[in-house]
Amino acid sequence: MRAIAINVGANTNEPGFRGPLFPDGSFEYIPIPEAEPTAEPVPTYADFDLETDVSGVADRPVHFDPEFPEVGGERYTYGDEHGIKAGPLSDLSAGDYLFFYATLSTTGEAPAWAPPRWGAHLIGHFRLARDPVTGEAYRDLPADERTVFDSNAHVKRAEFDARVLLLGDPDGSRLYETVVPLSAPSGGTDANWLVTEQSSDSGKGPWWRRPMRFDADGTATLLALAEEAPEAAGRIND
């Protein structure tokens, strides 16, 4: 068992703001905008049930990827067209895990375990239902086997461009109710022990933008912490 964690969701570049992190550790998953023409309708920001004020972008189409049924998706799917992520993700196998982390803006009074302004936090994971499917392999799949990916944002684009597609097992995948922090309380750019001790990443430089690999022990640690309150990561670190 192994895992990769990747950065997803709204950020200060697109659409210009991050999703919120609330004092109790709950959050809102806000996808990035859709940047390409689509062959079929996709949701807009107004279609998501959000506390965040998205009035400035309400009509913009959304790139709903990763797709989570908890917030309106049909299946647990993820696709990526960028080699820096698609390459490592293609090396995973059925039964491995894909974790998603997002940079979130701390709202209200920051709890002791959270950075005061913003931080990187795990927000969900997939347990892979099948081996990843490369873009080339997807094009060669029989039509009835491609249907499991029909709801993915890359498949809905006018020109399919994913280099890899991943499908989560519904019994082992979920969007979290509360986060698992990856940033230290001292600041968003400061990696905590889950990054520096449990992952392949050094925690130096812009680690919050990079894919991170986790071995079996690291994966088990993340899965255990996903069942705990956010402060559990801080307690173990102490």
Ranges of each domain in the chain: 3-237
Quick one: how many helices (H) and strands (E) in the chain? 7, 13
More confidently predicted of 237 and 61: 61
Q: Strand, helix or coil at 87?
A: helix
Predicted pLDDT at 235: 58
pLDDT at 237 over 80: no
Averaged confidence pLDDT in the chain: 96
pLDDT > 70: what percent of the chain? 98
pLDDT at 170 over 80: yes
Predicted TM-score (pTM) above 0.95: yes
Please check the confidence at residue 38 and state whether its pLDDT lies above 70.
yes
In this predicted structure, what is the pLDDT of residue 238?
A: 47
143-154 pLDDT, tens digit each: 999 999 999 999
Q: How far apart are CA 77 and CA 234, in angstroms?
A: 31
C-alpha dihedral, 10 to 92 to 98 to 173, nearest 10°: 130
What is the band of 236 on the pLDDT scale with cuts at 50, 70, 90?
Answer: low
